[in-house]
Structure 1
């Protein structure tokens, strides 16, 4: 599959102002583990990625959201934000660095939002930062670096 066709990003008729953020290949990590996600622009340099349904399959042994789900959504938000804000082929980029500070626990049953901002773009890299929140409550803060695809 070509990287430009890896994502389904189109207006979501059920959620005005939001776009879908899904993968064409429904057997990949994003749709299988994370489920349906929505994306919208937040200002000039930021985007909000929403994980709509958090269920028991996303839980840890304490009944809260598993840290791996939180980290997965954060990583996906880096790519979604680059795609939404800058455009181009985010699918062929790779995560070089991801630093996350957990400051709260997420609850099951409520949407989870990653609000991510492109801080700087260079010839080969994107530098991003963001917050993960649920119902306005901070769950985690993060910073990440994406390497752009090679020009081969």
Structure 2
């Protein structure tokens, strides 16, 4: 999970994703991440399947993406290890429309031996949608 797999076509060509995470890749997403000149970034394009009846991205989808983004933002600190979310908070700021480019950026606040603390902001076409913070607990990767 930690290293990701590079997308080879489409809008997110060259970005990484975690296809072995079925909920984030197949059901809620797919979501993508990379590191650019500003640091770690996660993104996806809002599709019909992400919408609620009100015509904006469903809050549960934004929260699932924020959880994905915790790991995208902290992926360098977690290299070679697996992690689980043990705490998560968020506040909704606005609802992005179908077709919006959804992006998350943030920072690792602290990374210790067992816990990594992350905070970030999700935007839809540049407008703030959701702020979030979370704590990741490291787990060793299991060999299969």
Residue pairs, 1:3-152, within 5 angstroms: 8-10=4-6, 12=8, 18-24=14-20, 28-42=22-36, 46-52=39-45, 54-83=46-75, 85-90=76-81, 92-149=82-139
Structure 2 residues without counterparts, runs of 5 or longer: none
Superposition RMSD on alpha carbons, in Å?
2.7
Segments of 5+ residues of structure 1 without an aligned counterpart are none
Name whichever structure is richer in helix by fraction: 1
Aligned residue pairs, count: 142
Change (3 A) 1:17 1:35: closer
**Alpha carbons of 1:43 and 1:23: their partners in 2 closer, same or farther (altered >3 Å)?**
same
TM-score under structure 1 normalisation? 0.79
Structure number with higher strand proportion: 2
Change (3 A) 1:9 1:107: same
Task: Return the TM-score normalized by structure 2.
Answer: 0.83
Q: 1:138 to 1:122 in 2, by over 3 A?
A: same
